[in-house]
Amino acid sequence: MIHGKAVNASVWLQDLKLLIKYRVLLANVVPVFTGFWLALYFTGSLFGEYVTEFFCTMIGTTLVMAGALMLNNWYEADIDAVMDRTKQRPTVTGHFSLRSILAAGILTSLSGFGILLFTTGETIVYTFIGWFAYVVLYTIWSKRRYTMNTIIGSLSGAVTPLMGWAAVDSALHVIPISLFAILFIWQIPHTLATAMKKCDEYSRAGVRMLPVVYGFAMTKRQMAVYVACLLPIPFWMVSLGNVYVFVLTVLNIVWLGLVLYGFYAKDDLKWAHQNFLFSVNYLMVVFLLPIILTIPSFPF
């Protein structure tokens, strides 16, 4: 019996991780933390003065984003059922009922917003924009209808550093705005690379991703345009130091070179996977490096 309970608990935990798309959730939590950290750094505020705001911001935004991801799973159960990479989600296996997932998504989102009441109005506004863009504009309205769904969905992830920064000070500052721009642009080639890898699955599911509707050649051209748009952004962030500007510039140039290589690559799927891996590591450098660089002078 004990062993059986352990197995059931393990299955339940795995289902929960799939339900909240834990990797996606983590990738969104990190920019919130970075935004909060850098706001303290640039305002010279002591962390001890913002302990309550920190925990309320991190817990509240995490719950709101987890709730949004649950609602995405609930709405896309039919799509997930025909895509190989999502067939194990509890919405497909039936381990959780769709009604319970809908209720959990709503309650988790509302709980997060309730906790955010102890932060700032600006943080709540940015968090709501992210939630609304992901759940309503992306998941419900555009994903099945328009190839522009990738751009529309990018707004939801891009506001995350603004959410963290605004808990300390107004996010109308060049650093959080630059991080917003990087995230907004980054998500498009990252998502298009994923869509190329899973083109056949998206086609079967009837999702109007760019490579499904217009083919790989058009997708590659779009990726090149968006990665090129990243090139000037590091120079808006000189207040983070020359090392940061240099590293991001090198990464942008390397990524653009990788994308341009795609016009000559013989294996499109392998090339798309290489871009996917590069983009994931790129994001971690963008949001972890400024924390590392500012630790020596951080106002603890």
Tens-digit pLDDT profile for residues 250-265: 999 999 999 999 999 9
Residue 3 has what pLDDT?
Answer: 43
Contacts of 267 (CB under 8 A, 6+ apart): none
For residues 101 and 73, the answer to whether their CB atoms sit within 8 Å is yes
Look at residue 2 and tell me whether its pLDDT is greater than 50: no
The amino acid present at 248, given as its one-letter code, is L
pLDDT band of 85, cuts 50, 70, 90: confident
Look at residue 4 and tell me whether its pLDDT is greater than 70: no
pLDDT band of 87, cuts 50, 70, 90: confident
> Whole-angstrom Cα distance, residue 7 to residue 90?
16
For residues 225 and 263, the answer to whether their CB atoms sit within 8 Å is no
Instruction: Determine what percent of the chain is predicted with pLDDT higher than 70.
Output: 98
Look at residue 7 and tell me whether its pLDDT is greater than 80: no
pLDDT band of 1, cuts 50, 70, 90: very low
Contacts of 259 (CB under 8 A, 6+ apart): 189, 220, 223, 224, 227, 275
> Whole-angstrom Cα distance, residue 234 to residue 249?
6
Considering only CA atoms, which of 270, 275, 273 is closest in space to residue 251? 275
Residue 253 has what pLDDT?
Answer: 98
pTM summary value: 0.94
The predicted model gives 183-201 an average pLDDT of: 95
**CATH 1.10.600 assigned to 14-297:** yes
